[in-house]
Structures are given as structure tokens and as C-alpha cells.
Amino acid sequence: MSADGFALRVVDLHKSFDKLEVLRGIDLEVDEHEVVCLIGASGSGKSTLLRCVNLLEPIDRGQIVIEGEDVTVRGLDVNRIRQRVGIVFQAFNLFPHMTVLRNVTLGPTEALGISKGEARELSLELLGRFGLADKRDDYPDRLSGGQQQRVAIVRALAMKPVIMLLDEVTSALDPELVAEVLNVIRELAAGGMTMIIATHEMGFARDIAHRICFLDEGVILEEGTPEQIFSQPSQERTQRFLQSIIEAGRM
Amino acid sequence: MTGGGGSPELYQYQPGDPRLPDEPRTSRILGPGSEGGKGVAIALVSTVVVLGLIVWAVTSSPNWPEVKQAFFDPEEFKRAFPDVARAFVRNVQYFLIAEVFILAWALVLAVMRSLQGPVFFPLRALAIVYTDLFRGIPTVLVVYLLGFGIPSLGLPGVPSGAAFWGVVGLILSYSAYVAEVYRAGIESVHPSQAAAARSLGLSRAKTLRFVIIPQAVRRVIPPLLNDFIGLQKDTALVAFVVAIPEAFKQGQIFQAADFNFTPLLAVALMFLLVTVPLTRVTDWLLERQRRRRQAGAVV
């Protein structure tokens, strides 16, 4: 249990790219074992928020606290923080010159300093659990998109993170490959993994999330349980967003 | 931003629209003339005819006998070739030794130049000045300066071999070119690869070592081979400073003694024996890389 009782706490987070203010004061608290889904249109700031939490983007203002530790203070060892925060990207970003197994063991051996044998054992166990044991010696370009994304999830899990950030992990997949990836995430949720999931899969979000946050123009405009957000959203913009999703046949 | 919003409808071409081609483009369909066997036969005949014409034109020109005597004297060739070939072993040695150091030193330069952040400004600046300097000076001048200059100082504890310093000159000069090739490779690796590595908690150095550089080097192997070819040829520059002859110098010795240029043609032949196969390998690698990229695979 962390000092403040939260796995993650984001306070008044601001982030600009040049003159474009992408995040305009985000406040978010995530309990341990909680699954939070971020929904909202493209450009609303979902991805940027996740990248900020992983310290891949420097922030302009605000505070990010992971397990009670303020990770936005100067002079902090960002590598140590990133080891505890797993992120999975939309485009997988697997290392194409490494086998599946090496993709997974790289972090544990080189960042955590775990012995090769131990890392291998841990990685094989994880790959096996997610149905990828027979792919361990393949290179990523031999795998389907769904398999690649599952490997990317396993790669993040091998670091034994305290929280997982999933950034539209099914958006680059062919429709028939989406389910296998979503099932992996369901399994993680069932195992009590704390997660923040940016997604366009509304049905999935409704099933899996303990809480839904609707992002609009860089702020969390509305948040609540899936029932609240999907059945009776209070904000007019949330209603319009969900309406457009329904019209697009994605719900 | 809100989702939805109607997209403009696609324009539908009606049959008979003047912007459509009138008929199927049958000219693109391969005709019988493209059959393999016939094509080879035509190429063969046309090559023989063209070559024959060139040989006839050259040998029947009024000054051919003098040219032949000065450049293509078979007796002179036989006399000079064994020594030239033996001396060429030194060129290969220079090449191999220089290449190892060039590959390593150039990588250091390229990494120095790709370092980010104000702390690394001096290293970055140093790498930039170095490449500007050595790419801007003719290689022959660098070889000459080091090969004659440093041994003449007679510094204690410093090697005084002219060949040694000549090769050092090649290393310094070629490293600048190769560093630029490496840098292009490093910059061609998509930033998302670095993001993925850093997100696992890998340091900058380890990200470079395990993720960026292996991919960068793979991509620049064909252009690196191009520089190999250039270097192999430029080992002849060491001829300007050495006492123990390499191939070019050996050829010059024969040429000066016999007043005949045929030995230098023997030297040229030795270089071609190495550079032509290297060129073919480079072309083959480039072609393979192009095909793979078209197939959508990551190189």
C-alpha cells in the first residue's frame, strides 16, 4: 500500500506542444487494482496524458504521484520510475531486430539487472500464459498484428509494473484481431492489475472499466461509472461524443 | 473536436467520361518478344557487334601501334605482374587494418553527434568540426601530411613508419565520411523505437546500444560497402609516402625504369579484381533491401 493510498495521482497537469495546449489541467486519481478507461475524440489528450505519466513527455505544470512518490520533481531517476510504469503503444513498437523472447527479456536484464536465466524463465512463463510460447524464436514481422500487440503487452508485464498504461492498443489492428488483445487485457484486469486504458472500443470500456473518464480539449470533462457515462451522461459534449460513436456503429 | 461530420462523397466516373482511357491498355501486356531465350540471344549478338565495332575502331586508328606499345605491351605485363600482385597484398593489408579502425572510430563520432542535451554540446561540436574538417580536406593531403610530416619530427615513443602514418591518414579521413553514413542510419530509426526502449526503463546509452545502433547499422550496410570500395582504391594514396612499395608504387617503379605504362595497367587490374566484386555485392544488398521495403517488412 502506498503512502497516499493511490496507485497514481495526477494533479492539475498541463502540457503544451509549442503553442498548442494539449492538457489543460488534468486531475485524476487511480486506486490500486482499479481499471480506468479514457474516452474522447482524437486529439482530446488521451495519449499525451499516458505519455506524461510514463515521463516520456516533460510536463509544463502540475504533479504526478506514483505510489505516493512525486515523480515530477527535478533530478529524479526517470529510468527507475519507468520500470514501474508499463506502457503499451498503438503501433506495438516491438524491436524488429530481436526475437520475441529477446524483446521480452531486454527490459528485465538490462534495466532491472535480473540474470539472463531468470529473465528467460519469467518471460517464457508470461509468453506461455498468453499463448505465445511457440512464437518465442520468431521475429516480430512474422507475427500477426494481434500477436505483436500481445507480445508488446507481455514485454511491459515482464517489468512487473505497478500500473499499466494502454494507449489505444487495438486501433492499429484488423477487426478480427481485436478480440484476442482485448481478452488479454480482461485477464489482466481480472488479475487485479491497475490500468489506465485509452480506447475507442466503447463496448469493451463498458465491460472492463471501474470508471470512465471523458476527455475533451485537454480536461476530464466528466467521469463516473460506466453506467453513468454510457446511460445518462450529464454533459452535453459527452452526449454528443457518444451519439457520434453510436452513429459510426462502434457501440 | 467532435467526432462524426459528413465526409464529401466520392466522385463517380460515368462510362464514356473523357477522362477515362478509351480502351484497355493492351500495350502493357507482354508480347512474345519478351520470352527469355530469345531475349538472351538478342543481347548476346548485339553485345558482340558493339564490342567488335569498338575494338575495330580503336585498333584501326593511325596511332594505335604507339598506344599499344606504351599501355598494352604483353611482355612488359608478364614482367611486372608478379611483383605488382605481391605488392598489392600490402594494399589489402592497409585496407583491412584501416577499415577496422574506421568502423569503430566513425561509430564513436556518429554517437557523439547524436547526443542530446546541453551537457553534451562540446562533444557534439567536436564531432561536427571533425567531420567538416576531414571531409573538406583531400584525402591525399592528409596522407601526405601525416606520412611525411610526423616521421620527420622524430618524436620519441611515436611510431615513425611512413606506411603507419599514411594508414592513419586514411583512417582519419574516411572516418568522417563513414560517421555521416552511420548518422543517417541512426536518424532513420523511428523515434517510437527509442520511446519503447526508454519506457522499459532503459537508459539512453542502453537504448542506443541495444535498440538504435543495431537497427541503424543494418540499414547502412550497402552505403558502408560503397565507402569500403572507395577506401580500397585510396590505399594507393599511401604510395606517395612509403619507401616499401605497395602496388601503385611498384607499378611506378617499373614504369620509370622501362618507360612503359603497362605495369600501371596491371595495378589497375589488381584493384578491379577487388572492387568489381565488392560493387556487385553492394548492388545486390541494395536491391534486396529495396525489395524487402516494398514487401512491407522492416529492414
H or E stretch at B215: helix B213-234
Q: Is residue B138 part of a domain?
A: yes
Banded model confidence at residue B299, pLDDT cuts 50, 70, 90: very low
Residue found under cell 533491401: B289
- Does residue B5 come out as left (phi exceeding 0), alpha (psi in the -120 to 50 range) or beta? left
What are chain A's domains? 6-247 (3.40.50.300)
What is the structure's pLDDT at B4? 44
* Beta pairing partners, A245: none
Please check the confidence at residue B3 and state whether its pLDDT lies above 90.
no
Residue A13 · residue A23 · CB < 8 Å: yes
For residues A199 and A170, is the Cβ–Cβ distance under 8 A? yes
B3 in A contact zone (CB under 8 Å): yes
Chain B residue with the nearest C-alpha to that of A200: B3
Is residue B10 scored above 80 in pLDDT? no
Q: Quick one: average pLDDT of B36-63?
A: 90
Report d(CA B234, CA B249) in Å as an integer. Answer: 13
What pLDDT, on a 0 to 100 scale, did the predictor assign at position B39? 87
* Confidence bin at B245 (pLDDT 50/70/90): confident
Name, in order, each residue with C-beta under 8 angstroms of A218's C-beta and a sequence gap of 6 or more.
A21, A22, A23, A24, A25, A26, A44, A45
Residue B268 lies inside a defined structural domain of this protein? yes
Distance between A110 CA and the closest CA of chain B, angstroms: 7
pLDDT for B116 equals: 84
Confidence of residue B25 (pLDDT cuts 50, 70, 90): low
Mean pLDDT of chain B: 86
Phi, psi angles (nearest 5°) of residue B193: -70, -45
B195 in contact with chain A, both atoms CB, cutoff 8 A: yes
For residue A19, count other CB atoms closer than 10 A to its CB: 5
Top-confidence residue, A108 or B240: A108
C-alpha cell at A59: 510536463
Is B42 domain-assigned? no
Determine the distance in angstroms separating the CA of B1 from the nearest CA of chain A, rounded to an integer: 7
**B193 inside 8 A of chain A by CB:** yes
Q: Is the pLDDT confidence value at A9 over 90?
A: yes
Residue B214's closest chain A neighbor by CA? A97
User: What percentage of chain B reaches a pLDDT higher than 70?
Assistant: 86
Worst-scoring range by mean pLDDT, A29-38, A104-113, B27-36, B107-116? B27-36
> Is pLDDT above 70 for B15?
no
B contact test, residue of A93, A164, A168 with most B CBs within 10 A: A93
Task: Determine contact: B6 vs chain A, CB below 8 A.
Answer: no
Closest residue by Cα to residue A202 from A22, A52, A41: A41
- Identify which of A82, A67, A90, A57 has the alpha carbon closest to the alpha carbon of residue A197: A90
Report the half-sphere exposure of B107 (CA within 13 A, side-chain side): 14
pLDDT at residue B286 in the model: 84
Cβ neighbors of A172 (< 8 A, separation 6 or more) are A90, A91, A92, A145, A149
| Residue B68, domain member (yes or no) | no
Model pLDDT, residue B199: 95
pLDDT tens track for A32-50: 999 999 999 988 999 999 9
B211 to chain A, any CB pair closer than 8 A? The answer is yes
When pLDDT is cut at 50, 70 and 90, the band that residue B13 belongs to is low
Element spanning B262, H or E: helix B262-294
Which residues in B181-201 are b (16+ Cβ under 10 Å) and which e? bbbebbeebeeebbbbbbbbb
Q: Is the pLDDT of residue B35 over 90?
A: no
Q: Count of CB contacts below 8 A, A vs B?
A: 82
Chain A hits for B212, CB-CB cut-off 8 Å, are none
**Cβ–Cβ under 8 Å, residues A213 and A50:** no
Q: How far apart are CA B236 and CA B227, in angstroms?
A: 15
pLDDT of residue B242: 80
Confidence (pLDDT) at B30: 57
Torsions phi, psi for A58 (to 5 deg): -70, 145
Q: So what's the pLDDT on residue B1? A: 42
B186 located within any domain: yes
Q: Closest residue of B to A105, CA-based? A: B200
B82 — contact with chain A (CB < 8 Å)?
no
At B209, list the grid cell. Answer: 546500444
Instruction: Give B29's pLDDT tier (boundaries 50, 70, 90).
Output: low
B297 interface with A at CB cutoff 8 Å: yes
Domain holding B182: CATH number?
A: 1.10.3720.10
Q: How far is CA B223 from CA B56, B279, B283, in A?
A: 39, 11, 10
Complex confidence, ipTM: 0.90
Domain that holds residue B235: 76-294
Helices (H), chain A: 46-53, 78-84, 100-106, 116-129, 145-157, 175-190, 202-208, 226-231, 236-247
For chain B, how many structural domains are there in total? Answer: 1
Q: List pLDDT tens digits, range B193-231.
A: 999 999 999 999 999 999 999 999 989 988 999 899 999
Residue B20 pLDDT class (50, 70, 90 cuts): low
Is B226 inside a domain boundary? yes
Report which of A175, A39, A179, A149 is spatially closest to residue A89, judged by C-alpha positions: A149
CA distance B15 to chain A (A): 32
Residues 6+ apart with CB under 8 A from B121: none
Choose between B246 and B98: higher pLDDT. Answer: B98
Does B32 map to a domain? Answer: no
- Best mutation site among B200, B207, B298 for testing chain A: the one with the most A CBs within 10 Å? B200
Mean pLDDT of A125-132: 94
CA distance A151 to A128: 11
Q: B200 vs A248: CB contact, 8 Å cut-off? A: no
- The percentage of residues in chain A with a pLDDT greater than 90, rounded to a whole number, is 84
Q: What is the mean pLDDT of chain A?
A: 92
Query: Which pLDDT band holds residue B24 (cuts at 50, 70, 90)?
Result: low
Inspect the interface and report whether the beta carbons of B1 and A44 lie closer than 8 Å: yes
Q: What are the pLDDT digits (tens) for A207-222?
A: 999 999 999 999 999 9
Provide CB contacts within 8 A for B161, sequence distance 6+: B151
Name which of B191, B233, B3 is nearest A245 in CA terms: B3
Q: What are phi and psi of A78, to 5 degrees?
A: -65, -30
For B226, the 3-state DSSP assignment is helix
**What is the pTM assigned to this prediction?**
0.80
Q: Which residues of A touch B200 (CB under 8 A)?
A: 82-83, 106-107, 111, 155-156, 159
Chain A: residue whose CA lies nearest to B207: A110
Q: What is the pLDDT of residues B130-145, one digit of tens each?
A: 999 999 999 999 999 9
Rounded Cα gap, residues A132 and A185, in angstroms: 15
* CB-CB neighbors (< 8 A) of B218 in chain A: 97
Helices (H) and strands (E) in chain A, counts: 9, 10
What per-residue confidence (pLDDT) applies to B239? 85
Q: Which residues of B touch A149 (CB under 8 A)?
A: none
pLDDT digits (tens, 9 = 90+) for B156-187: 888 878 889 999 999 999 999 999 999 999 99
Q: Would B81 be classed as within a structural domain?
A: yes
A80 contacts in B (CB within 8 Å)?
201
Report how far Cα B13 is from the mean position of its chain's Cα atoms. 50
When pLDDT is cut at 50, 70 and 90, the band that residue A109 belongs to is very high
Lowest mean pLDDT among A186-200, B63-77, B78-92, B285-299: B285-299
